[in-house]
Amino acid sequence: MTSQPLNIGFVGLGIMGAPMASHLINAGHRLFVYTRGKMPEAIANSGATQCSSARDVAERADITILMVPDTCDVEAVLFSEKGVAAGLRQGKVVVDMSSISPIATKTFAQKINALGCDYLDAPVSGGEVGAKNATLSIMVGGPDAVFERVKPLFERMGKNITLVGGNGDGQTAKVANQIIVALNIEAVAEGLLFAARAGADPARVRQALMCGFASSKILEVHGERMVKRSFDPGFRIELHQKDLNLALSSARALGVSLPNTATAQELFNSCVAHGGKAWDHSAMVRALEKMANFEIGQKVA
């Protein structure tokens, strides 16, 4: 138990939000929660106070955390008639841990600041496993003093916690993360598919590469998924598609070309066209396999 329990609001109790909120409850904080879907059993039985709206959460909490799917969801949670903004008083803090547009984030922060409240964008990386194990990487944008105030809460949910810069910079870091992850998945998929089609054992090739300069977390975790044909999420392709849409739209606004990001997105699009929006993002390999008319693990004729 923490010696100074806080009144914390949490909006969005999905696959990521529910375990994140549970860690804060287990730390002894008083939680006020709201979710559009079914209330998770663990939260319902935890002693957290269930609220009727996001506004109700914000009225009761000193720090309100959001964990919802997309930019439009954050905007609705913040600024709808029964949204967070309607329940804020001067001095309160809003922390958006969703993965959304960096450009929209700056606008949202300005609107919350105009109410006399502080705003942090703090998207996470690490997926469901990281959320459950409290090992998320958390990339934060916002004022130093507000970051220090909220940091003890971040430490209950993650391990690698970095103040990147001002509002929007946390989201920018997350978009960069998703670009790098997608391109690494594509590289591992191409390498293992090539090895398998050439007649080598892809599991042994992966093992050999794990000891060399090509070693990576993606090769370790998602390379194994590709070899074992284990594509239950994890992190769903449709969510990674959303993040790459943010990357590509932001890049257009900045006048930056991201050609390989665009290619990765097309491979995800192909997976979705074959019914794979809920596959783990490592299943990007299936799009390459369709083009090769060959699957990793298949015997060479």
pTM here? 0.91
State how far the Cα of 276 lies from the Cα of 295, in Å rounded to an integer: 16
Give the pLDDT band of residue 298 (cuts 50, 70, 90): confident
pLDDT tens sequence across 33-75: 999 989 999 999 998 999 999 999 999 999 999 999 999 999 9
**Residues 6+ positions from 229 with CB-CB distance below 8 Å:** 296, 297
Query: Can 277 be counted among the known catalytic residues?
Result: no
Say yes or no to pLDDT of 212 above 90: yes
Q: Tokens 């959304």 belong to which residue?
A: 100
Percent of the chain with pLDDT over 90: 93
What does residue 7 show for φ and ψ, rounded to 5 degrees?
-90, 110
Cross-strand bridge partners of residue 30: 7
Mean pLDDT in residue range 13-41: 95
Q: Tokens 């287990």 belong to which residue?
A: 26
| pLDDT reported for residue 3 | 53
279: region left, alpha or beta (phi > 0 left; psi from -120 to 50 alpha): beta
C-alpha pair distances (Å), 279 with each of 225, 256, 268: 11, 30, 10
Mean pLDDT in residue range 107-112: 98
User: Average model confidence (pLDDT) for the chain?
Assistant: 96
Mean pLDDT in residue range 191-216: 97
Residue type at 78 in one-letter notation: L
Percent of the chain with pLDDT over 70: 99
What does residue 42 show for φ and ψ, rounded to 5 degrees?
-60, -35
pLDDT tens sequence across 88-103: 999 999 999 999 999 9
**Residues 6+ positions from 121 with CB-CB distance below 8 Å:** 96, 100, 102, 105, 109, 140, 141, 142, 167, 168, 169, 170, 171
pLDDT tens sequence across 256-294: 999 999 999 999 999 999 999 999 999 999 999 999 999
| pLDDT reported for residue 2 | 45
State how far the Cα of 133 lies from the Cα of 232, in Å rounded to an integer: 19
| pLDDT reported for residue 300 | 84
Catalytic residue among 174, 217, 242, 299: 174
| pLDDT reported for residue 37 | 86
**Residues 6+ positions from 299 with CB-CB distance below 8 Å:** none
State how far the Cα of 49 lies from the Cα of 7, in Å rounded to an integer: 11
| pLDDT reported for residue 218 | 96
| pLDDT reported for residue 234 | 81
pLDDT tens sequence across 138-160: 999 999 999 999 999 999 999 99
